[in-house]
Amino acid sequence: MKSKKIIIASIPLVIFAILVLIFKSSLNKDPRKLETKLIGNQVPVFELASVNSPETVLTNADLPKEIFLLNVWGTWCVSCYAEHPYLMKFSKEYPIKWVGMNYKDTHQDAINYLAKYGDPFIYSIADTTGQLGIDLGVYGAPETFIVDAKGVIRDRHVGVIDDRVWNKVIVPKLESIGWNKSGME
């Protein structure tokens, strides 16, 4: 009888302990630390429509011939809404090109989104089926790849880029591969 009561009394504590374990692991599984096999490789070959003008077909040849950032976004991605103002700001304030990759989205939604919140990208690649995303090993949106002038992926960041991430992670990485804030390479 006594031991039965102790068991009942401890149930809430046990459930809570399990939850804490789960939360703890979710913190450790920080997606930003994910590695990609693609670092050091070329951007996978693609041939996809442009979000901005659907008749235009974009290929690897259209990628900028300088260091640039490839940002994976989607209108279904709640965090992209949070990230977007930062992209607007960084694209305005820093001399670096942003290429958008509109991931698993419909064309109309993507157009509406850019019209409503502004367009920080030189253009966005429409990856409607998600094939390029699979080739890139995209984990989820938003995600940003640092690509150099030769089209080689040098690094990746999973998750929202805000002021803190930009200054502490992205800019140092960009600088380590030869980019600088004044825009000279």
Partner 1 sequence: MIPELGHFFLILALVNAVILGTLPFYGAHTQHKGLMRLASKASVGQFILVLASYICLTIAFVQSDFSVSYVANHSSNITPLRYKITAVWGAHEGSLLLWIVILAAWMAAVSIFSKALTPEMRARVLGTLGLISVGFVSFALFTSNPFERVLPFIPIDGSDLNPLLQDFGMIVHPPMLYMGFVGFSVVFGFAIAGLLQGDLDQKWAKWARPWTTIAWVFMTIGIALGSWWAYYELGWGGWWFWDPSENAAFMPWIAGTALMHSLAATEKRGAYKSWTLLLSILTFSLSLLGTFIIRSGALTSVHAFANDPERGLFILTFLGIAVGGALSLYAWQFDKLKSNNNYTLISKEIAIVLNNVLLFCCLLVVFLGTLYPLIADYFLEQKVSIGPPFFDPYFSFFFAFILFLIPFGQQMNWKQNKLKTIAIEQFILLALAIVIAVFTIFSLTGELDLFALLGISLAIWLMLSCLLYLYAQTKNAKSQLAGLKKLSRSYWGMIVAHIGVAVTVIGVIVTTIYSFEKDVRIEAKHTVQVENLSIYFEKFDNYTFENYISSQATLKVSKNGNYLTTLKPEKRRYQVSNQLMTEAAIEPGFFGDLYISLAQPLENGAWAIKVYYKPFVRWIWLGALIMALGGLLAISDKRYREKKFRKVKAIKEEGLV
Part in contact with partner 1 (CB under 8 A); list of ranges 11-19, 62-70, 94-102, 168-176? 11-19
Give me 144's structure tokens. 């940003």
Alpha carbons 185 and 183: distance in angstroms, whole number: 7
Strand order in the sheet with 143-147: 123-127, 97-103, 68-73, 143-147, 153-158
Choose the binding region for partner 1 from 43-51, 58-66, 83-91, 168-176 (rule: CB under 8 A): 83-91
| Phi, psi dihedrals of residue 178, rounded to the nearest 5° | 100, 10
Report the distance separating Cα 11 and Cα 6, nearest Å.
Answer: 9
Which residue's entry shows tokens 């709640």?
78
- Part in contact with partner 1 (CB under 8 A); list of ranges 37-45, 94-102, 140-148, 173-181: 140-148
Give yes or no for residue 3 binding partner 1 (CB under 8 A). Answer: no
Under rule CB under 8 A, residue 159 binds partner 1: yes
Residues near partner 1 (CB under 8 A) are 5-6, 8-10, 12-13, 16-17, 19-32, 78-79, 82, 85, 88-89, 92, 111-112, 115-118, 140-142, 158-160, 162-163
